[in-house]
Structure 1
Amino acid sequence: MNKINISILFLILVFACKDGQTPAEAVKQTTLEVSERPKTGVDYLAFGEPFDDEAVISHTALSEKYAGMAVADTVRTKFRATVTDVCKAKGCWMRLQLGEGREAMVRFKDYGFFVPKDIEGREVVVNGQAFVTQMSVEDQKHYARDGGLSEAEIAKITGPKKTFGFEADGVLLAKE
């Protein structure tokens, strides 16, 4: 019985590692594959865990929820917003417009997936946990560098600030 299990595992790894990939590369590629999930008539590119675009709240509705939250509060939701900034290094985070000059900093659960680096101005739907946090000066400077800000702009960051965060387990990017 043990030999059968080992044989099956070997076959799975052989077929998963086509084109000379290692098992880890094959798993990562599967995780990052893009697929379509149209539900409400909008075509999307999907990243991360699958979800649909039904019962999505607006960015202004989420902004109102954030206004009533204290540091460390969380709420599970999915919302639609416009991307204002994205990590230029890997696409490992993005900022979404909430309105009235507010933004939500979106990171991806367990860094399990990334988004394209050229999606500023595009509409997305994100699914996950909204939370309020206090961002340190070091973290603000790190994200400012990733976002491509100049050293003069980064030097202006001098104190921690209350931020609206979001850990997304899935992202739907509206097709152009």
Structure 2
Amino acid sequence: MKRLIFVVFVFCGINCFAQKHTPLPHGMVFGNKPNDIAPVPATKIEALMGKKIRQSTAVVGKIITVTKEQGGWFEIDAGNGKMIAAHFKNYNIKLPEAIEGRTVIVEGVAQRILTADDLQHFAGDTVTGTKQHHEKVNPKARLTFEVWGLVVDK
């Protein structure tokens, strides 16, 4: 009887230890390995882009949350309460939730989100008053990032 209890205890203990997540090692790559482009801090990417709509670049930043594991949807801290919504170009990438809070180097295309109120006078929308288009834009989410490759830095 003592042996049976001991065996059950050992198997339960092994099962409990097997469910812990292993930490992601430094240098782990998801997607393509980023090239030797000098990465820009995520806090300075908007200043680097200037008035450009799209910019191919590498960014260093801290992952705030993984919103969807399949397809690698996540958010990067861009400083001052802002964030960059990012996702992998290749949908087959599965990004683990254990990467939250880690500093990563991401290579891809940064893109500004265009709102309906931007440059509407060029499209002939010159209506004023109650018919004027009012778009409520989240000022904290102004950039998106299509990721080609990601490497865990810290």
TM-score range relative to shorter protein:
0.5 to 0.7
Structure 1 residues not aligned, in runs of 5+:
1-35, 37-42, 136-157
SS in 2 for 1:128: strand
Match of 2:21 in 1: none
Amino-acid identity (%): 27
User: What is the CA-CA distance between 1:91 and the residue it aligns to?
Assistant: 6.3
Match of 2:153 in 1: 174
SS in 2 for 1:61: helix
Give the structure-1-normalised TM-score. 0.53
- Say if 1:79 and 1:96 are closer, same or farther in 2 by CA, change over 3 A: same
- Say if 1:53 and 1:101 are closer, same or farther in 2 by CA, change over 3 A: farther
- Say if 1:134 and 1:112 are closer, same or farther in 2 by CA, change over 3 A: farther
The structure whose Rg is larger is 2
Give the structure-2-normalised TM-score. 0.60
Aligned length: 110
Alpha-carbon RMSD across the aligned residues, in angstroms, is 2.7
Could you list the runs of 4 or more consecutive aligned residues of structure 1 that deviate by over 3 angstroms after TM superposition? 88-91, 158-162
1:6-53 CA-partner distances (Å, limit 9, x unpaired) = xxxxxxxxxxxxxxxxxxxxxxxxxxxxxx9xxxxxx41001012245
Equivalences for residues 85-104 of structure 1 within 5 A = 85-88=65-68, 90=70, 92-104=72-84
User: What is the CA-CA distance between 1:174 and the residue it aligns to?
Assistant: 2.7
| Cα distance in structure 2, aligned partners of 1:124 and 1:91 | 17
Report the structure, 1 or 2, having the larger helix content: 1
Equivalences for residues 4-43 of structure 1 within 5 A = 43=26
User: What is the CA-CA distance between 1:173 and the residue it aligns to?
Assistant: 1.3
Structure 2 residues not aligned, in runs of 5+:
1-24, 116-134
